[in-house]
């Protein structure tokens, strides 16, 4: 730009795990990817709740492709991103069906509150044909936090995160 020098200010270092967890907890939607019985990837936008172990919880209808995919292969990935402040959280792990064991706990209450928060359109699930609800938990095995507002190298921008700080 005409020889003008642009200075990039470095943000002070932060605890990447806490930064990633805060990002996860401050969002309520992301993209869940599963594998079909035909070994094809399938992705869809879902509402979720989370906890401090980076586990994700979501509800879906029993007659969806998600349920069919997960019955065949419990491995899944999940991505949360924002573009105005370029950051992303990528999670891979196994999904467990909690439908039969679910209790009214804070995570489930938080998820239902999220689903019901849109006063104009209501919960997206209410727009589909009726079906039994299924409640799932994604237990992370691999997590990567990408904060593109800091750093200048891949290792400064992309950070592995461990769900349990003791590991």
Give per-residue pLDDT as tens, 40-56.
999 999 999 999 999 99
Which tens digit of pLDDT belongs to each residue from 53-68?
A: 999 999 888 899 999 9
Q: pLDDT digit string (tens) for 108-146?
A: 667 777 766 666 666 665 555 566 888 899 999 999 999
- Integer Cα distance of 113 and 49 in angstroms: 10
Q: Which tokens in the block code for residue 97?
A: 């069906």
Q: From 131, 89, 108, 104, select the one nearest 47 (Cα to Cα).
A: 108
pTM exceeds cut of 0.85: no
| CA 53 from centre of chain | 12
pLDDT at 122: 61
């Amino acid at each position: 730009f005409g020889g003008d020098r642009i200075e990039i200010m470095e943000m002070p270092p932060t605890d990447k795990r806490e930064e990633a967890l805060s990002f996860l907890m401050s969002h309520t939607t992301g993209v869940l990817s599963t594998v079909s019985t035909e070994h094809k990837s399938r992705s869809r936008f879902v509402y979720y709740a989370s906890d401090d172990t980076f586990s994700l919880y979501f509800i879906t209808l029993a007659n969806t492709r998600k349920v069919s995919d997960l019955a065949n292969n419990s491995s899944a990935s999940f991505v949360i991103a924002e573009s105005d402040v370029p950051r992303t959280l990528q999670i891979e792990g196994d999904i467990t069906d909690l439908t039969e064991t679910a209790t009214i706990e804070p995570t489930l209450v938080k998820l239902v509150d999220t689903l019901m928060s849109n006063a104009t359109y209501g919960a997206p699930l209410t727009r589909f044909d009726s079906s039994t609800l299924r409640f799932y938990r994604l237990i992370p095995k691999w997590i990567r936090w990408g904060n593109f507002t800091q750093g200048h190298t891949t290792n400064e921008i992309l950070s592995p995160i461990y769900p349990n700080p003791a590991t």
